[in-house]
Amino acid sequence: MENLKAVILAAGEGTRMKSKKPKVLHEILNKTMIDYVIDTAKGCGAQEVCVVVGHKADEVKAAIKKDGVSFALQAEQKGTGHAVMMAGDFIDGDMDILILYGDTPLIQGDTLQKLVEKHRQENFGATVVSAAVENPAGYGRIIRDADGKFMKIVEHKDASEEERCIKEINTGIYIFKGADLIASLAKLDNCNVQGEYYLPDCLELILKGGGKVGAVTAEDEKEFFGVNSRVQLAEAANIMKARINRRHMENGVTLEDPQNTYIGADVKIGMDTVILPGCVLEGNTEIGEDCKIGPNSRLTDMRIGNGVAFQSSTGIESEIGNNTTVGPFAYIRPNCKIGSNVKIGDFVEVKNSTVGNGTKIPHLAYIGDTDAGEKVNFGCGSIMVNYDGQKKHRTVVEDHVFVGCNVNLVAPVTVKAGAYIAAGSTITRDVPEGVLAIARARQQVITGWKKKKIEKES
């Protein structure tokens, strides 16, 4: 959407959260509240976003790692109008300006797009989003005239008893013509009970100046739910979880227990994949079609192909090919590329490694800093010894190698194609192609040892 900017207010301390970190950095499904709002603003077409920071400003700025985001500082919290004033250099008189809040993560892009369209169709100088709620206590009230046209907003603390009976409240979401916002901010005062600069007063100033102001009633007031405490954070998380899970089910994904499934906002899942109970899917995870994930699996920033079975295991920042099985109780650590038709069995850990197509690592193995080829067989207890006490080294295991049980491959070492490593061996030198390598002490049998031991102890 052209000619649109967004200002997000995120300067408050959030004392009711009872937390050492800023309120807007608290997470819902492993994503901060402020990141939800920024992504929604950009998703509805905002070309640039300015976040107004205050409490622990450096911490908030450091946590936001997104392009097209700038910052303005509100050193003292003197109301919402004052916060927007601090973004004065960002406000463009020739553009529309959305005003959003860093603690309202449930707002959706489609809702904001409708707001922008209505604002422009009616040629309003400002448009506010309202909502009808059963308990309006604490919210500013929308005051309309006899014809239902917007008149003003009265804050709860300044409202009369009659005005406090009104159930149409201000959600705090606005869109302004940039020029009207600049002009009204210049006239704003703090003559109220709190001695603050109220942004809603800008609407009255626009009306007094001959401009038009509209109020658009939200279809779902839950989108504008503000988070001010841990209890409200949990409530918002439940709403977000239900929304995300419903979207995936409508797109052909089976969630056997939606209430016990936690899927991040940016996760993508293919058709006919089944997610079993207790799964946590986070970050930019992408799962293909016809997979079976869980139960009790955690995937963070993973890319998974089609037909994968991932059971009761953890995967982080790695890639898995088609028709591979993982788990139970496997651990895929960052920077792994695991091929198709691979078996990663129980209690297997893979870290910073490539695993070729058709390779099998059935159980109780550590594959770290390794380049394993195709159709390799790692026996139970295979260990890649990648650390010499000072540096990490890589192990190369070429195609069709058979690694016996309880084998240590001490890096840096290369096992060439088709070689066999005898069980119990500790390999410290390169192994040629197609040979059998044995590196273990010769077995000895000491006759009469037990009898001598018993006689000595008696």
Selecting among 55, 82, 248, 363, the annotated active-site residue is 363
Q: SS in 3 state form for the chain?
A: CCCEEEEEEECCCCHHHCCCCCHHHCEECCEEHHHHHHHHHHHCCCCEEEEEECCCHHHHHHHCCCCCEEEEECCCCCCHHHHHHCCCCCCCCCCEEEEEECCCCCCCHHHHHHHHHHHHHCCCCEEEEEEECCCCCCCCEEEECCCCCEEEEECHHHCCHHHHCCCEEEEEEEEEEHHHHHHHHHHCCCCCCCCCCCCCHHHHHHHHCCCCEEEEECCCHHHHCCCCCHHHHHHHHHHHHHHHHHHHHHCCCEECCHHHCEECCCCEECCCCEECCCCEEECCCEECCCCEECCCCEEECCEECCCCEECCCEEECCEECCCCEECCCCEECCCCEECCCCEEEEEEEEECCEECCCCEEEEEEEEECEEECCCCEECCCCEEECECCCCECCEEECCCCEECCCCEEECCEEECCCCEECCCCEECCCECCCCEECCCCCCCCCCCHHHHHHHHHC
Active site residue 248: no
Positions annotated as catalytic residues are: 363
